Amino acid sequence: MSVKLSKQTKNSAFWWWYHGNLTGFTHQHMQTFGFMCAMIPVIKELYQDDALRLRSLKTYSPFFNTEPQIGSMVVGIAVGLEEARANGADAIDDAMINGIRAGLMGPLAGIGDSLIPGTYIPILLSIALGFSSGGSVVGPLFYAAVYISTMTVFMKYIFDKGYELGGRAVDVVIGDRATAFRESMIMLGGIVIGSLAASWIGVTTALQFSLGEGNPPLILQNTLNSIFPNVLSLLTVLFCWWLMTKRKMSPITVMLILVGIAFVGVLLGVFDPGLSY
């Protein structure tokens, strides 16, 4: 007699992953325990023998780490494979399941990181920043509502596809059409990041040079504006990009460096904070 997982159990596995994908997160295990937690309701329903339950749970003890949102597809695939194994599919064993998990977590992490934190989140934040002008609370509410709702629908959709299609589900996000969509989204994200930098970053200098008695001073910022408007802002963005990509510095370190440069620059008169004391 075949065993079919109930809709409640599949939903339970999804929500365990949704809320707990970073459960017990360490550099040694990362998302391993979150994955195991998601599989617990599945294993409990499929197996009545404690020894079989323990065997199945140990299947998911090896290291696992991917982009959490798109990683729900891998959980869905594992749920479908575990159900097939419980129904006597001899070809499905620990090595096969973990081979699929290990094989998918790297490529899907690269796709998920470029699409979600690399593209989708900056687009949403740029819109939310516009709504937040003047201290309006609409911006953060918009971001929270849109991000949570869209990510929930997206994660549930690819989880269900993973369960239904097994290993073929990866075609949903890395097939030819998905590749074209992903590239267009990355291009859109680059445009948004560029416009965001131009709108919200404004670096100017207060340096002036005397041209002799009776002549007005040379204001460096005016000269720069006549040659290349906002060139200092552009150089600041490129400097931050260089530090994070080429020097492998964290965003916090880069921010501290900028604070140090700003502090020294104000003391030397290079920058004018526009403050009165």
Q: How many domains does the chain have?
A: 2
Residue 2 located in a structural domain: no
Top mean-pLDDT range of 180-184, 206-210, 235-239: 235-239
Residue 16 located in a structural domain: yes
**Residue 56, Cβ neighbours under 10 Å: how many?**
21
Residue 276 located in a structural domain: no
pTM for the structure as a whole: 0.65
The reply to whether 184 and 211 lie within a common domain is no
Residue 214 located in a structural domain: yes
The reply to whether 145 and 28 lie within a common domain is yes
Q: Residue 8 — pLDDT band, cuts 50, 70, 90?
A: very high
Higher pLDDT, 116 or 197: 116
Q: Are 170 and 73 in contact (CB under 8 A)?
A: yes
Q: In sequence order, which residues have a C-beta less than 8 Å from that of residue 40 and are 6 or more positions away?
A: 16, 57
Tell me how far apart the alpha carbons of residues 94 and 101 are, in angstroms, rounded to a whole number. Answer: 11
Residue 277 located in a structural domain: no
pLDDT digits (tens, 9 = 90+) for 130-181: 888 888 898 899 999 999 999 999 999 999 988 987 645 545 555 566 667 5
Question: 48 to each of 7, 52, 88, how far by Cα in Å?
Answer: 18, 8, 15
pLDDT value for 189: 61
Average pLDDT over residues 85-113: 80
Last residue of a domain, one of 191, 219, 244: 191
pLDDT value for 83: 87
The reply to whether 127 and 254 lie within a common domain is no
Residue with tokens 């097994």: 166
